[in-house]
Amino acid sequence: MAVKIPNSIDELPTSSPRFIGHRVKRVEDTGLVTGRTEFIDNVSMTGMLHCAILRSPIAHAKIEKIDVSAALDLPGVVAVVTGEDAAKWSHPAASSPDGWGTYCLPADKVRFVGEPVAAVAATSRYIAEDALELIEIEYEPLDVVSDPVAAMEDGSPLVIEERGSNVMLQRVFNWGDTDAAFAAADHVFSEKFRWNRLGANPIETYGCISEWDPTELGITVRGAFQSPSHMALGRAMTFGLPSNKVRMIAHPHGGSFGGKGGVRGTDVSLLLSRKTGGRPIKWIEDRMEYLAAGGSQAWDRRYEFSIAVTNDGIVTGLKVKLVDDIGANGEGFGAISAAKPLAAFTGPYTIGAAQYDLSLVATNKAPASPYRGMGPPPHNFALEQMMDIAARSLGIDTAEFRRRNFIPKDAFPYIIPSGNEYDSGDYEAVLDKVLALSEYEKLREEQKLAREQGRLVGIGVASAIEPGVFDWNAYAVVGVQGTGVPEGATVSIDILGKVMVRVGFALEGQGQYTLVTQLVADYFGLEMEDVSVTMLDTASAPPAFGPGGSRLGVAITGAVLGACDRIRVKMCKVVAGLMQTEPENIQLMDGVFGIPGVSEAQMPMAQVAGTMLGASHLLPPDVDPRPEATHVWTAAGRTPVDEEGRTKSYLTAAHAVHIVLLEIDPDTGMVEIQKYVLVDDCGTRLNPATVEGQTQGSVAQGIGAALLEEYVYDEDGQLLTSTYMDYLLPTIHDVPALVMGEVVTPSPFSPLGAKGCGEGAIHTTPAAVMCAINDALVPLGTRANEVPAAPNRLWKLIHTARENTSSD
């Protein structure tokens, strides 16, 4: 019998859900506010040593000689590893694109500042760091290439010689007849954009405790893994081990946002464990290591955008040319960020033809990593600027211009030119609501008055899709293989009717253990306290990926409800046997199994569980007596890529429109956000409080992206933003209070109709803020096409524009 996973909250076996859809308190929080939650750096093990990593101070150099003898002589130092050990015991890291990985410790040359070259295991971190200073390395500097455009030219220094070029991938995708759309267009608008490197920066860096098992020839790593199963597969490849010899034990971690990283440090510490005969090796990345060489850096992009537009303001074609600077190798899987925009390439609009001219380029900078949003935020930023450029040129209000181009609500499910399918939506309803909430007309009037006073006040209206529930096929075009991302859960009921749910991912911040608790409590008519959630390691957990690609809320809902349904089916059989009827006559409702309408034929779930576990001789012979089930959920209907790179990849398509009012101080270039209003539609809201939390946090990251955050390299490949004094994260002063509203169009495809919403606002916020900045700059006749729009950049734009005006 097929497992039944409800597509709507109304289909749950409860007359009135008490938890799902409600703002419930998170079950995770008591441990966190008391400091008791076991983050990886809180853990110590018998015999444990501490690892410190020596990193290259030069962006590109041959390693002539490494002498570790003095380090080994330091009391407390147990082992040192270098590229020699890596070559002996490991393989180059898996990468995207394939074949662009390097050893975790290179033997021949370094390719970016911060690249590990040697590592020490010692009895304390202090001693390990002392020992680093005793390692002598002779480098022969090589020419550095830090500009991806220069890196593509013949004769450029090569980052990985064996590849023969710095171009990791070059491909032009054509979806529909884009040239014909441009030839037929009344107007063509083109613009160049620059999005500078930024990144995740969770407040906890990566950390792990690695053990090589010399008897089993396997490895066990405890760590701050966003996806333990994914880390396990990668380590199996790197160390040439069967995947069943690699065990990952995930710990709760202090955020990830896609950029937890940790691959190199894990592999280096595993080499040290092997060299020390299997001692546990703790490696805690420090913040400067994270900033220079962790999973920290993403999206270093040079864009050329063109759109074809009719006189009526309908966009008919889109051309995008992207040079994406991936850094020194493909081990960070930053390249998937160039593939993900295919899942929403034309945004919420009916644009019928599109072209993507994509170049991924290697340079002597830190390898690019994923970051929340995984690539679309810069794409959306540029697309939304184009929408504004066209709207202004045609004299159409920017909100109205978007309305004319929205996919209409009766067109869903809707397949976009790049192949992905949007499940559902009502984009006009979202726009109408945000216009009303923001009192848009009034804002425009206020802006008019402000402009008359010479003030630089701007209003940004931006709209974007958040693809939800990723599938590996979304990244096939950059060499990532596979279709289907499983998420499993095991639900077990004890003899008293209390429930334990076992999952394969650790706490990360999104409140997913709370969601699991809500689901089970409503399904079986329990209190939330009756449900516990625990994490298993990769050796014992059901197949699981964990958070990523706005998937886990939807995926774990499918897994938990699938497991609950399997238990329900078993229990119906048990109850039918006891009541001498057929299982189809038995119904579960509000935690009670029985024959509807027959008051004497009712059994509370706890009694059924107690009977199964305590009196299995009473059960029908074909019933498994355990009140327990596992379900592994995958998204249905995903398709492999076709020859044009098209695929049904992401299951859901959430939508949002943001409106920002801001003012630029012309004397300082500082931006003050005065009003921020957004309405989004992520389908059914399973816990509205956590949805809002994700949205608010994502707006903050989007504001950081638009105004503050930037990794700056000089031409020698030196990182100039190596501390939080230079890499600026948004503080409480930078993030405005939000006005938020919602529209709910449930997904027809997903458990309970929910849409992925974890990445959230970062898909829209940078676009909205930049639209507002450019709106403010209209009277000066200038544009800000570079992100972040930091005060120095805006000041220069404003003053150049004023000088030009005064000299006219």
Partner 1 sequence: MATMKTVRMKVNGVTHESEVEPRTTLVDFLRGPLALTGTHVGCEHGVCGACTILVDGRTARSCLMLAVQADGAEITTVEGLATPEGLHPIQQAFIEEHGLQCGFCTPGFLMSLVELLSENPDPSDAEIKDVLGGQICRCTGYQSILKSVHSAIAKLRTAGVAAQPPLA
Residues that bind partner 1 in the complex, under the rule CB under 8 A: 25-26, 28-37, 39, 41-42, 75, 126, 201-205, 253-255, 257, 286-288, 507-511, 689-690, 692-694, 696-701, 723-725, 729, 731-733, 735, 737-738
- We find the least distance from the C-beta atom of residue 83 to partner 1, in angstroms, to be 28
Helix 398-405 to helix 376-394 angle (10° resolution) is 110
Comparison of 197 and 638: residue with beta carbon closer to partner 1: 197
Comparison of 22 and 287: residue with beta carbon closer to partner 1: 287
In degrees and rounded to multiples of 5, residue 628 shows phi and psi of -155, 145
Comparison of 532 and 696: residue with beta carbon closer to partner 1: 696
End-to-end CA distance of the chain: give it in Å, rounded: 78
Comparison of 398 and 764: residue with beta carbon closer to partner 1: 764
Quote the CA–CA distance of 617 and 575 in Å, as a whole number: 13
Q: Identify residue 222 by its one-letter amino acid code.
A: R
Comparison of 24 and 608: residue with beta carbon closer to partner 1: 24
Quote the CA–CA distance of 362 and 297 in Å, as a whole number: 14
Comparison of 684 and 695: residue with beta carbon closer to partner 1: 695
The single residue listed with the structure tokens 């690699």 is 246
Comparison of 124 and 804: residue with beta carbon closer to partner 1: 124
Quote the CA–CA distance of 395 and 591 in Å, as a whole number: 60
Comparison of 157 and 693: residue with beta carbon closer to partner 1: 693
Quote the CA–CA distance of 384 and 22 in Å, as a whole number: 34
Q: Identify residue 570 by its one-letter amino acid code.
A: K
- We find the least distance from the C-beta atom of residue 124 to partner 1, in angstroms, to be 9
Comparison of 335 and 462: residue with beta carbon closer to partner 1: 462
Indicate the burial class of 674 (C-beta count within 10 angstroms; 0-12, 13-18, 19 or more).
middle
Q: What sign for the dihedral angle of Cα 28, 33, 39, 45?
A: negative
- We find the least distance from the C-beta atom of residue 36 to partner 1, in angstroms, to be 7
In degrees and rounded to multiples of 5, residue 505 shows phi and psi of -140, 150
Q: CA 31 → CA 27, 224, 225, 324, distances in Å?
A: 9, 17, 19, 41
Phi-psi region of 580 (alpha: psi -120 to 50; beta: other; left: phi over 0): left
Quote the strand ranges of 577-627, DSSP E: 587-589, 592-594, 602-604
Quote the CA–CA distance of 478 and 337 in Å, as a whole number: 9
Comparison of 586 and 740: residue with beta carbon closer to partner 1: 740
Q: How many CB atoms lie within 10 A of CB 554?
A: 31
Quote the CA–CA distance of 659 and 118 in Å, as a whole number: 50
Q: Identify residue 138 by its one-letter amino acid code.
A: E
- We find the least distance from the C-beta atom of residue 72 to partner 1, in angstroms, to be 17
- We find the least distance from the C-beta atom of residue 382 to partner 1, in angstroms, to be 24
- We find the least distance from the C-beta atom of residue 282 to partner 1, in angstroms, to be 12
- We find the least distance from the C-beta atom of residue 296 to partner 1, in angstroms, to be 12
Comparison of 2 and 203: residue with beta carbon closer to partner 1: 203
The single residue listed with the structure tokens 């327990």 is 628
Give the three-class secondary structure for 555.
helix
Q: Is-contact 173 645, C-beta < 8 A?
A: yes
- We find the least distance from the C-beta atom of residue 204 to partner 1, in angstroms, to be 4
Quote the CA–CA distance of 490 and 534 in Å, as a whole number: 10
- Tell me how far the alpha carbon of residue 66 is from its chain's centroid: 38
Tokens of 414: 């809707």
Quote the CA–CA distance of 433 and 386 in Å, as a whole number: 23
Q: CA 53 → CA 293, 309, 680, distances in Å?
A: 11, 54, 44
- We find the least distance from the C-beta atom of residue 685 to partner 1, in angstroms, to be 14
Comparison of 81 and 284: residue with beta carbon closer to partner 1: 284
- We find the least distance from the C-beta atom of residue 345 to partner 1, in angstroms, to be 28
- We find the least distance from the C-beta atom of residue 789 to partner 1, in angstroms, to be 19
- We find the least distance from the C-beta atom of residue 659 to partner 1, in angstroms, to be 17
Which residue in 218, 246, 241 sits closest to 230, CA to CA?
A: 246
Tokens of 287: 């913040």
- We find the least distance from the C-beta atom of residue 500 to partner 1, in angstroms, to be 23
- We find the least distance from the C-beta atom of residue 673 to partner 1, in angstroms, to be 12
Comparison of 2 and 33: residue with beta carbon closer to partner 1: 33
Comparison of 507 and 635: residue with beta carbon closer to partner 1: 507
- We find the least distance from the C-beta atom of residue 456 to partner 1, in angstroms, to be 25
Q: Is-contact 798 664, C-beta < 8 A?
A: yes
Quote the CA–CA distance of 391 and 385 in Å, as a whole number: 10
Comparison of 201 and 385: residue with beta carbon closer to partner 1: 201
The single residue listed with the structure tokens 């095991």 is 490
Quote the CA–CA distance of 389 and 398 in Å, as a whole number: 9
- DSSP structure class, residue 92: P
